[in-house]
Amino acid sequence: MRARIYKSTGSWYSVKSEEGMFYQARIKGVIKLDNRTSTNPIAVGDWVECETEMDQPTIMISDILDRDNYVARRSPHNKRQQHIIASNLDQSILLATLKSPKTSQGFIDRFLISCEAFHIPAIIVFNKSDIYGDKEMAIYEMMKSMYETIGYQVFLISIEKEKGLDAIKNLLIDKTTLVSGHSGVGKSSFINYLFPELAIDTQEVSEWSGKGMHTTTFAQMYDLPNGGSVIDTPGMRELGLVNLEKEELAQYFPEMREKMSGCQFNNCQHINEPGCAVKAAVEKGLITEARFFSYVDLWHGIETYKY
Ligand SMILES: Nc1nc2c(ncn2[C@@H]2O[C@H](COP(=O)(O)OP(=O)(O)O)[C@@H](O)[C@H]2O)c(=O)[nH]1
Ligand SMILES: [Mg+2]
Ligand SMILES: [Zn+2]
């Protein structure tokens, strides 16, 4: 029987069969784990093959189907291993805010680059429009134009005032969507809006700034009433730039990717090299300076050891 993983707590998995039935499942014996560099063999979103056991209410996972894609972060326990957060995604929504709290452009760019590296289309959704003044609206318009020019969809919503949400609901139909964003942007509020019966706790902005919020929570997938599903990742701040090499970073900036074939050196890193087509495009205003600065920051931050 083929089924999809909806929740994983480490040893138990909540799976949904193709017929739409939910089961509690365990991994059967030792599934081939060779060549695995991840701390978890199975993640939310995985498709698996299951066997029922005679007279048992639970079922056994006997095989994992190949993943179309996945998102991972570096394992906190072992830097050479990754923890797979979710798989088989059609798209990923970044919830961001321009006030209370403010999402930095660096954070947004890291998210976009992770999505590019994991081959997942990214959508940026700015929440809390109800508290934006002229200043925030000007920043929003600037960000919208900057990101739309390089191919990302950008939306403005207020979950509290239920503004702009129909467009987001339409994006979700028949897709598997990962929802992420740092604390306080309204992830829980968004999940509650989509699935009011879950009644997930939302937190006052003043509460989450404190320490002690690092509790491990598990990703979970929920089905939408009109088709499609949403994966919530409570406790996850950002996607990781796992196994990323300095040399490949520019590929994950769509606007740089487009220009870099014009660089004089084919191994150009677009930092100090002569004849760099990327830097020329920045000078001509064809690539936004702010995005180029994000690139330079990230490039310097990538550790060079190999896995
Ligand atoms: N003004 C305003 N506040 C919101 C909006 N959406 C969520 N919030 C508030 O922002 C705070 C953090 O929301 P929460 O959903 O817990 O964020 P999370 O940390 O991303 O899960 C809560 O106090 C919410 O009530 C919105 O659209 N407008
Ligand atoms: Mg929350
Ligand atoms: Zn270059």
Ligand nearest to the CA of residue 279, numbered in listed order: 3
Q: Is the pLDDT score of 131 beyond 50? A: yes
Q: What b/e readout covers 216-241, taking b as 16+ CB neighbours within 10 angstroms?
A: eebbbbbebeeebbbbbbbebeebbb
pLDDT level of residue 184 (50, 70, 90 thresholds)? very high
What is the 272 CA–ligand 3 centroid distance (Å)?
8
Q: Is residue 208's pLDDT more than 50?
A: no
**Does 81 or 179 have the greater pLDDT score?**
179
- What pLDDT, in 10s, does the model give residues 83-115? 889 999 999 999 999 999 999 999 999 999 999
For residue 202, is pLDDT > 70? yes
Alpha helix locations (H) across 254-288? 254-259, 277-283
> In angstroms, what is the span from residue 33 Cα to ligand 2's centroid?
33
Ligand 1 binding pocket mutation candidate from 98, 132, 203, 236 (most atoms within 8 A of CB): 203
Q: Is 218 helix (H, G, I), strand (E, B) or coil?
A: coil
pLDDT at 36: 61
Domains with residue ranges and CATH for the chain: 2-66 (2.40.50.140), 85-232 (3.40.50.300), 246-301 (1.10.40.50)
Does the Cβ of 183 fall within 6 Å of ligand 1? Answer: yes
Distance CA 179, CA 75 (A): 20
- Going by pLDDT thresholds of 50, 70 and 90, the confidence category of residue 206 is very low
Binding site membership of 182 for ligand 1 (Cβ less than 6 Å): no
Confidence of residue 209 (pLDDT cuts 50, 70, 90): very low
Do 88 and 45 touch, CB atoms closer than 8 A?
Answer: yes
Q: What was the pLDDT predicted at 201?
A: 72
